[in-house]
């Protein structure tokens, strides 16, 4: 409602020319000639227009009933594909020859793919990732699911699935689950359900001296390993213990309510405290929620397979 009233008031301002009463009142001056020169007037008018654009963008986030519209980040094709310039030592000012689009040969030298002029290659990459004869994607995904459930993956190195990343502790089990994962439509929920219903996942953390001497790191999962809570669980537990946690889904989102404006002016809105579950908090680069930052949340601008 505040945004609507502000928009309706600012919408009446003239674009240029003589200052009328509405403009003078909005700018907070009694007389233009007495208080402002023309340069300051147009600068002030520009700032008012910016405020009007912000208010208009905020209104676009809601329908006629005042309900927040659902929003999602997405990508679209540029309309024409293009190659990538080779940057010497990664320096943008030292661009050399253009590298044509193609598949990464070091991953699969025998894989060939053609691109049309209007294609970026993203669709071809997605097709390769989920191809039935590609054993890599399903194994990597299952290993990550296993890591989130047990605290460590069958392959400890989450970001290196190559020959230098070590060997999996249970290679046959990893292959079996990877095949089932792809066969069941790449359902993450289905894979989680299958793992948590297993005997291994339901083991207690009781100590056994014989097993400890044979496997002190619990690499072969003879008991349940203790693990630290992540930042989201700690925050939600604190809110729940204090009776402040709101389990329901919040209305709209902090990102949607912030509107279309500069990041610097959006930070306060995105960092505003909320008592809803952490899963509903916006994760924006360089603007992590303070409770999550306090408990070592992963840096959003970095690719982090395993948190410290």
Q: What is the pLDDT of residue 159?
A: 80
Q: How far apart are CA 135 and CA 179, in angstroms?
A: 9
How many other CB atoms are there within 10 angstroms of residue 119's CB atom? 14
Q: What is the pLDDT of residue 55?
A: 80
Q: What is the pLDDT of residue 108?
A: 73
The torsion angles phi and psi of 9, rounded to 5 degrees, stand at -70, -45
Per-10-residue mean pLDDT of the chain, 308 residues long, equals 55 50 58 53 78 80 75 73 82 83 76 74 83 87 93 85 82 94 93 95 93 92 89 92 90 61 48 77 77 84 81
Q: What is the pLDDT of residue 34?
A: 46
Q: Which long-range contacts (CB under 8 A, 24 or more apart) does 5-9 make?
A: 6/51, 6/52, 6/55, 7/52, 7/55, 7/56, 7/59
pTM (2 decimals)?
0.65
């Amino acid at each position: 409602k505040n945004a609507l009233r502000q928009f309706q008031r600012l919408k009446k301002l003239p674009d240029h020319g003589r200052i009328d009463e509405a403009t003078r009142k909005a700018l907070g001056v009694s007389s233009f000639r007495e208080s402002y020169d023309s340069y300051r007037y147009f600068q002030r008018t520009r700032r008012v227009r910016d405020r009007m654009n912000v208010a208009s963008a905020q209104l676009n986030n809601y329908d006629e009933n005042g309900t927040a519209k659902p929003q999602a980040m997405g990508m679209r094709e540029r309309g024409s594909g293009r190659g990538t310039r080779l940057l010497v030592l990664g320096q943008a000012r030292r661009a050399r020859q253009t590298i044509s689009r193609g598949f990464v040969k070091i991953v699969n030298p025998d894989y060939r793919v053609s691109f049309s002029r209007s294609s970026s290659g993203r669709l071809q990459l997605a097709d390769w990732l989920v191809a039935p004869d590609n054993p890599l994607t399903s194994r990597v995904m299952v290993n990550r699911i296993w890591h989130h459930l047990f605290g460590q993956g069958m392959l400890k190195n989450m970001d290196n699935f190559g020959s230098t990343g070590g060997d999996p502790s249970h290679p046959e089990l990893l292959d079996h689950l990877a095949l089932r994962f792809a066969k069941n439509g790449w359902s993450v929920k289905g894979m989680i359900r299958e793992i948590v219903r297993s005997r291994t996942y339901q083991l207690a953390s009781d100590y056994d001296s014989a097993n400890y001497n044979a496997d002190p790191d619990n690499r072969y999962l003879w008991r349940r390993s203790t693990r630290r809570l992540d930042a989201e669980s700690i925050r939600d537990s604190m809110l729940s213990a204090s009776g402040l946690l709101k389990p329901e889904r919040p209305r709209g989102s902090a990102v949607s309510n912030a509107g279309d404006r500069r990041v610097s002016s959006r930070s306060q809105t995105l960092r505003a405290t909320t008592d809803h579950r952490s899963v509903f908090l916006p994760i924006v680069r360089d603007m992590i929620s303070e409770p999550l930052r306090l408990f070592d949340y992963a840096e959003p601008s970095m690719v982090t397979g395993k948190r410290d």
